A and B are shown apart, each in its own frame.
Chain A
């Protein structure tokens, strides 16, 4: 009995010690933050790690871009730049969480344009995200969508689709995505009868078109390239405004006379109200990151077209696109929320 009590006491003392040590650490960490908050406007930025939150799971293209930028930023800023994945609601969750953080430059978010420009067309108004709570720091790159046909379908260009009799099943990467909007708008303008079959993301949609489960599908180029090169799928159209440098022989929808410029754009943003000097420092570090050789090689490897425009330009471009897409869906009576 005695030995039992003694053991318990010893355990408890050890635990207390551990707790005290933990508390001390926490206090120290808090102290650092408080001091940083007091004169954050000074040249002291950054006073701690700068976190980039990503609204998508680790391993996806958005996540990879965030990590590539974070690497260069960490080098330039001299602090750790961890990437935190906070998947949910197409990225809306991460965006709203970061927007509610203090605007001291230590909390950033990597934005997908589709969340701002296309998703609002598919979800209710209070679920939609806009840029009013965010300061966009810098645009990063453009990721193009490409319309693919299965090898069995026999389609080789848009003309074949138009001449085909009956309903064409087209795979999309989900509701409220660029893939859905691009195809719905193209089919409406080119007067092709089609039924959208939404998949959970790019990879299952691609698998479905490779296996001829759907006749055509639209996915991002980076995902589709290996299957295009292997001849398993036939690229019919790119939805970029200009020809994609990685697919020089594939015409764009715009060239064919259809007004559907849909691409995925990505940008870095911070909560609204960032001090000017902090903002300038962050933009500088992003510029340093995107200028690095590793980053340009990363873009090349992932078939991303650099689009390193200023935050103001991003805001203007995305607002214009959002308006354009809304007008497009109104004109052709397209509802993204109908499946």
Chain B
């Protein structure tokens, strides 16, 4: 019953005034950037990272987590009212949400989305509460071989599940792996790509890379994109959903919660993919699929529930294994490292107050969001009028100051500029920065643990299969790697010319989601 005690202690941590305040600040910022198209949670967290240096680790992560799941609420608002998805994970909400708004039922759509988000988020937190200690029970059995296998599976999933072009995702991931090799070799002291610079001796720091790719790159890209003229929407009436609306959407909410929870756990998964999957599932299940796109309430409830559930459950691999499931989680990983906390299986036992504090803050944050999301709709929509000419330089400045303060290093500022340019070019040419960052994080994990394992096994690779956890993970790796190949070969053989229209349409939608990963 020690874990129950820890759960209670976690609530005590959240209820400290500072932590409550940061939780509130986090979810408000999250909703805000959810409303602003272009600026996503990954970019925001990258930019705001320096604000968290001075506070306790648990406070920092509570706020950053609030930004992440808060954005899932905010993204809905503009999708419904303006047909302008604020977040990639709300792209599908546009279809039925805006149709409902045109019928004068915007309030219904927003209300159902808020309730669904709350249920989805809460279900996922409960899952996190019970699942995490289970995984953490194996903590000490996680040695270098297990981390090697985990990193392998992670990199593979990132490359295969990433939205958009797979080849481009692989290219980005490969660059990330290469960047991870820079620095003094941790096993021999040999210099690798350091060009005699002591600043590179420890390799490239993760935070400037992420700040450049997501923060600065995003800002530059958005400046180039001419901002769409935004017309302020009309009044939003009857925001509280009726009993009938809730009844109609309850099935979709339940399914969205489960789907989102499980897709969120997968590395490379996350809010966007689960919202797409939930929409597809609802459409497939419906007795009359033709209603979809014309204002079906399930088409709002399903994806909005799923994206929140996934946003929460993607914390599971990070907090229990130290494996970031998506780019936002990679930033959380960086934030924890800056605070001197190494995420991994030990986290739950070594830092119970941090772990449970963060988990329990999500309950509170979700309640706050539910309360806020309805009355604040009008206020948030007005923020859309802030001009890019003001927003962009301010955010760029904050990013630079932030990069400097991590390590008091001008070199890091230069790195942000370089990676900002890289990030901008990547977006312009259709490469996602997500796989690069994830491969960069996992690359050093993979290299050092692989070499450590081989030292332990005296150079024999068969050692990986003598240990139950690493063997299981490697089997998963093989299955994930081989399955798509087998399937595509079988498909090609069965119907060489039958490339139906559905996947094409699907891909079209997927290309629009930009900072999903």
Contacts and interface: CB of A to CB of B under 8 A. Distances in A.
17 contacts: A84-B408, A88-B409, A89-B184, A92-B198, A93-B198, A93-B201, A122-B189, A167-B458, A176-B189, A195-B455, A195-B456, A197-B455, A199-B452, A203-B342, A210-B140, A211-B143, A213-B143
B345 to A, nearest CB: 9
Nearest to B337: A57
A325 B107 CA distance: 75
Interface residues of A, number: 43
B455 A196 contact: yes
B189 A93 contact: no
A195 B340 CA distance: 29
Contact of B201 (A59, A92, A198, A208): A92
A339 B455 contact: yes
A297 B141 CA distance: 37
Interface stretch (A102-110, A123-131, A243-251): A123-131
Interface in A85-115: 85-90, 92-93, 96
A200 B449 CA distance: 11
- Per DSSP, chain B at the interface is loop
Interface in B20-52: none
B199 interface: yes
B187 A86 contact: no
A251 to B, nearest CB: 28
Kindly list the 8 A-B residue pairs having the minimum CB-CB distance in the complex, ordered from nearest.
A213-B143, A89-B201, A211-B140, A339-B187, A122-B189, A59-B340, A337-B189, A89-B198
Interface string A122-147: 11101100000000000000000000
B50 to A, nearest CB: 14
B188 interface: yes
B143 A208 contact: yes
A204 interface: yes
B187 A89 contact: no
A198 B456 contact: no
A211 B190 CA distance: 29
Given A198-B186, A337-B189, A204 B201 contact: no
A122 B184 CA distance: 11
A175 B340 contact: no
A88 B143 contact: no
Given A88-B407, A169-B455, A197-B455, 14 more contacts: A57-B340, A85-B407, A86-B408, A92-B201, A123-B184, A123-B191, A126-B196, A176-B189, A210-B140, A211-B141, A212-B140, A213-B143, A337-B188, A337-B190
A197 B456 contact: yes
B448 interface: yes
Contacts, number: 89
B346 interface: yes
A127 B455 contact: no
Interface in B167-196: 184-191, 196
A217 interface: no
B142 interface: yes
Nearest to B409: A86
Nearest to A203: B342
Q: How large is the interface on B (under 10, 10 to 19, 20 to 34, 35 or more residues)?
A: 20 to 34
B433 interface: no
Contacts of B188: 122, 175, 337-339
A174 interface: yes
Contacts of A208: 143-144
Contacts of A336: 189
A254 interface: no
A198 B198 contact: no
Interface of A: 57-60, 84-90, 92-93, 96, 122-124, 126-127, 167, 169, 174-176, 195-200, 203-204, 207-208, 210-214, 336-339
Nearest to B459: A195
B146 to A, nearest CB: 9
Given A93-B201, A167-B458, A198 B187 contact: yes
A4 B36 CA distance: 23
B202 interface: yes
Interface string B400-416: 00000001110000000
A279 B142 CA distance: 51
B62 to A, nearest CB: 19
A339 B455 CA distance: 9
A213 B407 CA distance: 33
A211 B142 contact: yes
- Residue in B191, B199, B201 whose Cβ sees the most chain A Cβ within 10 Å: B201
A168 to B, nearest CB: 11
Contact of A93 (B187, B196, B199): B199
A127 B196 CA distance: 8
Nearest to B346: A207
Contacts of A203: 342
A89 B202 contact: yes
A166 B202 CA distance: 34
A123 B201 CA distance: 11
Contacts of B408: 84-86
A57 B336 CA distance: 13
A270 to B, nearest CB: 19
A213 B146 CA distance: 11
A214 B201 CA distance: 27
Contacts of B201: 88-90, 92-93, 127
Contacts of B451: 339
Contacts of B140: 207, 210-212
Contact of B452 (A60, A86, A123, A198): A198
B186 A213 contact: no
Contacts of B409: 86, 88
